[in-house]
Amino acid sequence: MQRKGGWLREFRRDLHAHPELSWREKRTTNAVFETLTAAGLHPRRLSTTGLVCDLGPAAVPGGPGLVALRADMDALPIHEATGLDFQSTNPGVSHACGHDAHTTILLGAALALAELDAGPGLPVGVRLIFQPAEEVMPGGALSAVRDEVMTGVSRIYALHCDPRIEVGRIGVRSGAITSAADHIEVILHSPGGHTSRPHLTSDLIYGLGTVITGLPGVLSRRIDPRSGTIMVWGAANAGSAPNAIPQIGALHGTVRTGEHQIWESLEPLVREIIGELLAPLRIKHEVNYTRGVPPVINDHLAATRLAAAARAVSPDGVVDTPQSGGGEDFSWYLEESPGAMARLGVWSGEGRQYDLHQPDFVLDERALEMGVKVLTNVVFGSVD
């Protein structure tokens, strides 16, 4: 593994220096494809970007299903400010979420598993999924599912970088580990008018304020607070003059919940509340509701096996982790088969703890080898 440790860093740094946005991961896909092919494997490209590769014994009817391992490949539209020697050469785009590490770890696990398959053999068939477009809703996982990557899969696993956990450990949780995340756009229309005569028109700004404060408030009274449901606005735009009521305004925000059943009921409830809030104000409106991803709900057995895979590397390699309010399209795979995602520690243990989706996000590259070992181990611990 020492020989591969240096290779892992170099491969990850190359990806880091050449980040690609969602659905544009052509260079990344080619780099992974060529590496797998050179190792004697037979990857196949997905219908968009990304690829899938099987190794080990094939799944047979009535026999054990494949164990799938997934990594996401895309970067974010964030200008990098790390000052690293290998920082992004693509202005305005960077791997500020660690997907370069995810891809490298899965590739390292693929090569390790291929060596084992050529020797003693693998106890179960393995499917490697290098997925595009995790960072855009509803996520590239849906496209991968349509490409039938889950056919024959009995369980699926993934790791995600976590800068709050020390390198050498992973955070494991049974049940929900992320939240559902939807986007809301509300567009309001008014005839407009003079601010001295709001009674003769529809006061659009007042309507915006009513929705801004009213929707989160009413949702908090209509939904069990134990579900972790939260609605937050990110943008509000209308008008330009202090004495003129504008004719159009818009709000943009997200609504998140930790429970699958509540997620399924959110859209009609949001539409109902907005309509009731604006009805007395005679303001016309339209709601564009974009369903994002369901929560990632870890299967208990799969989470237990991920924990065992980490403890095989280090006895104290597992820590508890809370449910996140963030969304992750790994959840779409769990609609097809049980599985689990764990949080991979990437904090050096000293100094500042960086955060994801920030221009200066950095990770401790020792986490690469830890990730490879965990994914390799979970395959051998997944024989039912």
Is 350 assigned to a binding site? no
Around Cβ 25, how many Cβ atoms within 10 Å? 29
Is 183 assigned to a binding site? no
Give the C-alpha separation, 266 to 320, whole Å: 29
- In this prediction, the residues of the chain whose per-residue pLDDT falls under 50 are 1-3
The predicted pLDDT at position 3 comes to 43
Residue 231 belongs to domain with CATH number:
3.30.70.360
Is 16 assigned to a binding site? no
Contact 321, 172 (CB under 8 A): yes
Q: 77 with 133, same domain?
A: yes
Q: 20 with 64, same domain?
A: yes
Give the C-alpha separation, 335 to 363, whole Å: 31
Domain termination residue (choose one: 236, 271, 290)? 290
The predicted pLDDT at position 5 comes to 64
Q: Which amino acid is at 239?
A: G
Residue 305 belongs to a domain: yes
Residue 2 belongs to a domain: no
The predicted pLDDT at position 58 comes to 84
The interaxial angle of helices 99-118 and 366-380, nearest 10 deg, is: 50
- What tokens does 305 get? 């096996």
Answer positive or negative: Cα dihedral of 261, 267, 273, 276. Answer: negative
List, for residues 290-346, the tens digit of each pLDDT value: 999 999 999 999 999 999 999 999 999 999 999 998 999 999 999 999 999 999 999
DSSP secondary structure code for residue 22 in this structure: T
Q: Report the domain count for the chain.
A: 2
Q: 149 with 50, same domain?
A: yes
Give the C-alpha separation, 49 to 25, whole Å: 6
The predicted pLDDT at position 4 comes to 54
Q: Which amino acid is at 138?
A: P
The predicted pLDDT at position 95 comes to 98
Is 99 assigned to a binding site? yes
Is 97 assigned to a binding site? yes
The predicted pLDDT at position 384 comes to 66
Q: 165 with 214, same domain?
A: no
Beta-bridge mates of residue 286: 187
Residue 188 belongs to a domain: yes
As a whole number, the mean pLDDT across the chain is 95
